[in-house]
Amino acid sequence: MSSSSSCAKPEFRIGESVSGFEVIKKIGSGGFGAVYKVQKDGIEFALKTEFIDDESDDTLKNEVHMLRLMQWSPSFCRLYTAKRLPWQNQKVNIMVMTLCTRPVSRLRRMMPDRHFTKSTAARLSLQLLEALRDLHISGIIHRDVKASNCGWHAPTRRILLFDLGFSRKYLEIDPITTKMRHRAARKDPGFMGTSKYCSVFAHDENEQGRRDDLWAWLYSTVEFFLGTLPWSDEEKSVRVSNMKKKVGRKLFFKCPREFALMYEHIRQLKYDSSPDYQMMTNLFKQMFIRLDIEDSDPLDFEQGSIFYDEYFVSQTDSEKELNSDLGTSDELESHHNKRSEVVTIGSKTDSSETENKLGRIPDLPLASIGQSIV
C-alpha cells in the first residue's frame, strides 16, 4: 500500500460549502479521494474529489476530460463543474455530476439470490451495451466495466456508466493522411481493471481495445442473470484467468440463448476489431420478443415490481448496507498496475421534479473558481 493511501486525507464536513455546493453526506471513498452528496438550490448532485500529492496521477483529470466528451450521450452523467482548488494546505481536484439512485451492483445484491429476473437483467444488459457503444463511437474505451461503475438514474430509467478515470482514447490522427486510425498496441501497458470482470487479454497485461470492454460487459451481464460467476470466490488473478479460458459457452447455460451468440462474436474480435453493436442489439430485440419482455414493465427495483416493497422500499437501511460494503466487495476493487483507485458510489436520487429543475443552472462554468484541471 502506498503512503498516499495509508495517510488520512482531508475531508469535507457536512454543511460545508465547496465551490458553492453544500455537502450533505459522504457516500464513498477510495485511495485518493471521496464522493459526497451535495446540493445547490435544492438540487442534489454527486461531488467527487481527488487530493493531489506526489503519489497521485490526476486520475480525476482524465475522468473529467472523458466525461466532457460524452455529454452528448444519455448513458453518462451530466458534468456540471470541474476545477482544482486549494484545500487545507493541499490541492484537490473536484467534479460535480449527476447523482445516481444506487449503483447497479448494489441493486443486484439486494435481490433474493442476488440476481435479477430475466426481464430486468436483459434490459439492463442492453442499456449497458448502448453506453459502451456510445463510448466507443466517441473513440474511447473504458477499461473497467462492471456493475459497480454503473448507477441507476430513476428519473430517466437509465443506467449511467461512470468512473472514467481509467478510460483511454483508442483513436489517433494519422500524421500522413490526417485521418483517424486505431492506436497501435503498446508493448507493456500493465494491468488495468478488475480481475473478476476483465478479459483474459487484460489479465496478461496486453493492450486493451473495444473487445476487452465487451468481455467485461459480458461477464457483468452474466452476473445480472445468475448472481455469481464461476470464479467469484477465487482471489488469485492467474486462476481467475485460467477459469475464464476454460469455461466457454457453458457460462451461458442458464442465460437466454442469444448470449451464446454474442459470446461467439466477441470471442472472434481482435485488438483493433470493430464490434458489431447492431447485430448484438438485434439479438436483444429478438430476445425481448421471445421472452415477452416489455420496456414499460417495472424493473425489479421499481415501484410496481413484486420485489419492490419487500426488498427496495427502505432506502435508509439500504444506504447503510451500501456504505458498509465500501472497500470490501470485489466488485469495487479496481487496479491500475495493482494499485487501488477511487470508486464512485451513487446515493438515493432526487425526484423527477428536482431533476426538471436542472434548467435553473443549465451551464455551470467549468472553471469559474480555481484552476481548471483540463
Instruction: Check which CATH number belongs to the domain holding 89 and give it.
Output: 3.30.200.20
| Residues assigned a catalytic role | 144
pLDDT for 120 beyond 70: yes
How far, in Å, are 116, 137, 170, 181, 274 from residue 178 at the CA level? 47, 18, 16, 9, 20
Q: Answer yes or no: is 149 within a domain.
A: yes
Lowest mean pLDDT among 8-17, 95-104, 233-242: 8-17
3-state helix, strand, coil in the chain (%, to 5): 35, 20, 45
Q: Answer yes or no: is 332 within a domain.
A: no
Map residue 1 onto helix, strand or coil.
coil
pLDDT for the residue 337: 52
Work out the pLDDT band at 57, boundaries 50, 70, 90: low
- 338 assigned ligand-binding residue: no
pLDDT for 354 beyond 70: no
Beta strands in the chain (DSSP E): 17-18, 21-29, 34-40, 43-52, 79-87, 90-97, 102-103, 140-141, 150-153, 158-161, 168-169, 171-173, 180-182, 192-193, 335-336, 339-340
All three cell numbers of 283, joined, read: 439479438
- Residues 249 and 144 occupy one common structural domain: yes
CA distance 160 to 266: 23
- Residues 115 and 233 occupy one common structural domain: yes
pLDDT for the residue 146: 98
CA distance 97 to 47: 7
Q: Answer yes or no: is 311 within a domain.
A: yes
- Residues 182 and 280 occupy one common structural domain: yes
Q: Answer yes or no: is 292 within a domain.
A: yes
pLDDT for the residue 29: 82
pLDDT for 369 beyond 50: no
pLDDT for the residue 54: 62
CA distance 147 to 107: 9
All three cell numbers of 334, joined, read: 479496481
Average pLDDT over the chain reads: 85
Segment 52-58 shows an average pLDDT of 67
pLDDT for 235 beyond 60: yes
Query: What pLDDT digit, counting tens, does each position of 242-266 carry?
Result: 999 999 999 999 999 999 999 999 9
pLDDT for 358 beyond 70: no
Q: Answer yes or no: is 370 within a domain.
A: no
pLDDT for the residue 353: 38
Q: Answer yes or no: is 260 within a domain.
A: yes
pLDDT for 33 beyond 80: yes
CATH number at residue 223: 1.10.510.10
- Residues 180 and 241 occupy one common structural domain: yes
Cβ-based neighbour number of residue 257 at 10 Å: 12
Segment 325-334 shows an average pLDDT of 47
Map residue 222 onto helix, strand or coil.
helix
- Residues 45 and 149 occupy one common structural domain: no
- Residues 95 and 130 occupy one common structural domain: no
Contact 118, 277 (CB under 8 A): no
- Residues 126 and 261 occupy one common structural domain: yes
Work out the pLDDT band at 333, boundaries 50, 70, 90: low
- Residues 67 and 136 occupy one common structural domain: no
pLDDT for the residue 8: 56
Segment 54-77 shows an average pLDDT of 89
Q: Tell me which residue range forms the domain holding 14.
A: 3-99+350-360
Lowest mean pLDDT among 6-15, 130-139, 226-235, 271-280: 6-15
Query: What pLDDT digit, counting tens, does each position of 130-167 carry?
Result: 999 999 999 999 999 999 999 999 999 999 999 999 99
Lowest mean pLDDT among 208-222, 232-246, 325-339: 325-339
pLDDT for the residue 314: 61
Contact 287, 258 (CB under 8 A): yes
Selection from 9-23, 97-111, 338-352, 355-369 with the highest mean pLDDT: 97-111
Contact 229, 255 (CB under 8 A): no
Segment 157-183 shows an average pLDDT of 95
Percent of the chain with pLDDT over 70: 79
- Residues 293 and 243 occupy one common structural domain: yes
Contact 100, 46 (CB under 8 A): yes
- Residues 14 and 108 occupy one common structural domain: no
Q: Answer yes or no: is 76 within a domain.
A: yes
- Residues 206 and 133 occupy one common structural domain: yes
Q: Answer yes or no: is 248 within a domain.
A: yes
Greater confidence, 335 or 308?
308
Number of structural domains (the chain) is 2
- Residues 135 and 211 occupy one common structural domain: yes
Segment 278-299 shows an average pLDDT of 98
Query: What pLDDT digit, counting tens, does each position of 214-230 carry?
Result: 999 999 999 999 999 99
All three cell numbers of 247, joined, read: 469455461
Map grid coordinates 469559474 to a residue. Answer: 368
Q: Which amino acid is at 185?
A: A
pLDDT for 66 beyond 60: yes
How many whole angstroms from its chain centre is CA 100? 11
Map grid coordinates 451500501 to a residue. Answer: 322
